[in-house]
Amino acid sequence: MKRLLLHCCCAPDATAVGSLVGEYDVSLSFYNPNIQPPEEYDLRLRELDKVSKFWNLPILPVEYDPERWTRLTWEYREGMERSERCRLCFSMRLEETARLAQEGGFDCFGTVLTVSPHKNAGWILEAGRAAAEKSGLSFLERDFKKGGGYQNTVQVSRELGIWRQNYCGCLYSLWQRQEEDRLRIVYREKLSKRLKEHLPSLFVRLLIERETELLLVRREQKWGLPFGPVMPGEKIKDSVARIAGEFGVRVNEIGLRGLEELFGRDGESLREHRVILDHACKYSASREGIAVESLWCGSADFERLSSEMETPHLVKKYLGTNE
């Protein structure tokens, strides 16, 4: 039986090892200098121990060197998840895993990074192949999320009582998550079952700072598709017509008939915000292949924020304010 050194990024994804036990003589590696702060690293390593004990697999001791990782990625710190920074991170971890496998006399190496639907599996496999070429070892080229693999890791993690982290691990993603969490949607009515199934894969959030702008946020934590800004004092019809024109959709496709009579002519009203939000949801639904009915936002309201104080990075990037 071939000896396999399996790189594990976290305990939930590491449960994919169950599909390899019996096929390989597996040892686990937790080389993840990207994970910060140290308390987070220690917590994730302790959770991996649950996987190790369940399948009776050894964990290979490795060095924790976050300074080296930070030096490598610092110039990309403002990039989003799935940016060039992530590609560098994959390469660094898999090159070191290959080196450790070669040093330890393993026949091959692999990684469970491909379990996550939020990571670019193509980049991961590409990094693995490059590391294999340098080391002379074989790389186990497997996308563990396929064939229900991701859903299986969720189920097994639940059965083993494994804690699931809420950010990828690096400080940059933590900062981004903290920043995004300041923009939170507040639902006042019960959500449909279908909408719950798609959250948090799709959010629409409101950002207010002199103007209003709606943003579609994907779970991969990419900001994109700005709807707006809605100019204070602008009529409802004019606001939506302008935005519809920018995104190439027809006004009569987004249900604007009679809205002025229904909501009045106050361009700064919260009701106007809801109308624009409704348009954003409909457009988003068409892009995501989700039923429009499940994204009806008449029941949604938003917390007003002082964006200049709370989210200066987003204000500068999306609203262009610098004062």
Q: Are residues 164 and 288 in the same domain?
A: no
pLDDT higher than threshold 50 for residue 257: no
Q: What is the DSSP string of 139-162?
A: E----TTTTTHHHHHHHHHHHHT-
Is the residue at 176 inside a domain? no
Q: Are residues 216 and 85 in the same domain?
A: no
Question: Per mean pLDDT, which range of 130-134, 141-145, 171-175, 314-318 is the poorest?
Answer: 314-318
CATH number where 50 lies: 3.40.50.620
Q: Are residues 136 and 264 in the same domain?
A: no
Is the residue at 61 inside a domain? yes
Is the residue at 178 inside a domain? no
Q: Are residues 205 and 162 in the same domain?
A: no
**b/e sequence 23-42, b meaning 16+ C-beta within 10 Å:** ebebbbbbbbbbbbeeebbe
Average pLDDT taken over every residue of the chain = 69
Question: Per mean pLDDT, which range of 4-18, 72-86, 89-103, 206-220 is the poorest?
Answer: 206-220
* Average pLDDT rounded to a whole number, residues 256-281: 42
Question: Per mean pLDDT, which range of 98-102, 182-186, 282-286 is the poorest?
Answer: 182-186
- Domain residues for the domain of 130 are 3-170
For residues 167 and 273, the model is more confident at 167
- Number of structural domains found in the chain: 2
Q: Are residues 215 and 155 in the same domain?
A: no
Is the residue at 184 inside a domain? no
Is the residue at 305 inside a domain? yes
What is the model's pLDDT at position 80? Answer: 74
Is the residue at 231 inside a domain? yes
Question: What pLDDT digit, counting tens, does each position of 93-137 carry?
Answer: 999 999 999 999 999 999 999 999 888 899 999 999 999 999 999
What is the model's pLDDT at position 117? Answer: 84
- Quote the CA–CA distance of 266 and 260 in Å, as a whole number: 9
What is the model's pLDDT at position 204? Answer: 37
pLDDT higher than threshold 90 for residue 207: no
Question: What pLDDT digit, counting tens, does each position of 293-310 carry?
Answer: 444 333 222 332 222 223
Q: Are residues 219 and 134 in the same domain?
A: no
Q: Are residues 70 and 113 in the same domain?
A: yes
